[in-house]
Amino acid sequence: MSGLTARYDLYACDRADRCRYLLGRGGDRLLFTIGLNPSTATREKSDTTVAKVEQVALRHGFDGFAMLNLYPVRATDCSTLPDAVERKVWAENLRRIVEIVSSTEMPVLWAAWGSGIRTRGYFLQAAHELSQRLDGSGARWQHFGPLTAEGHPRHPSRLRYAWNFGDFAIDRYLVRFLNQPSGSSLR
């Protein structure tokens, strides 16, 4: 699926396209997918993760999707991201996510970050911040398929289309994992 040609009408990045804040297709009923960090997909080109997210959205009654991430810096392997977070891009990313999700009535958020969330502490901190900022917005958190053995929502690259969405208790998840040691954190 990698390298599929696509044209996404929802797209936001920095000047050099090193940070991608948003990628997707507009519609009346968007599925907001929250991953870890963007990989190779661009406005013109999909990648495996984005192609799967789009298929899941279409197969489950959504006519559009927005791929968002806990951290906007591109990397094909999240463990290669810097240990120290770039505060400015981290804050800008969260601001943009809250803005687009809050502009939607009864938004559905697909927690889709996988166990990679443990590689950098700032991933969990971003999930916590999003949960707090979106509290009261009517946002409904979901996961797709069974949680991992450790209790993480699965990454889209590890999905089966036969699976379904289930409610994701973001608050309980965060209480469980925020107090465990993980990779680097905000400084």
Q: Look at the chain and report how many structural domains it folds into.
A: 1
Range of the domain at 145: 10-178
CATH number at residue 151: 3.40.50
What is the tens place of the pLDDT at every residue in 63-109? 999 999 999 999 999 999 999 999 999 999 999 999 999 999 999 99
Does any domain span residue 25?
yes
Q: Which residue has the tokens 């559009």?
A: 64
Whether 31 and 108 have beta carbons less than 8 Å apart is answered as: yes
Does any domain span residue 167?
yes
Q: Check whether 1 has a pLDDT greater than 50.
A: no
Does any domain span residue 23?
yes
What is the tens place of the pLDDT at every residue in 149-178? 999 999 998 899 999 999 999 999 999 998
Does any domain span residue 133?
yes
Order of strands across the sheet that contains 165-167: 10-13, 20-25, 64-69, 30-35, 108-111, 140-144, 165-167
Does any domain span residue 185?
no
Mean pLDDT (whole number) for 18-32: 97
Does any domain span residue 3?
no
Does any domain span residue 1?
no
Does any domain span residue 186?
no
Residues facing 69 on adjacent strands: 35
Cα–Cα distance between 182 and 83 in angstroms, integer? 11
Q: Check whether 45 has a pLDDT greater than 50.
A: yes
Q: What is the mean pLDDT of the chain?
A: 92
- Lowest model confidence (mean pLDDT) among 28-32, 37-41, 106-110, 179-183: 179-183
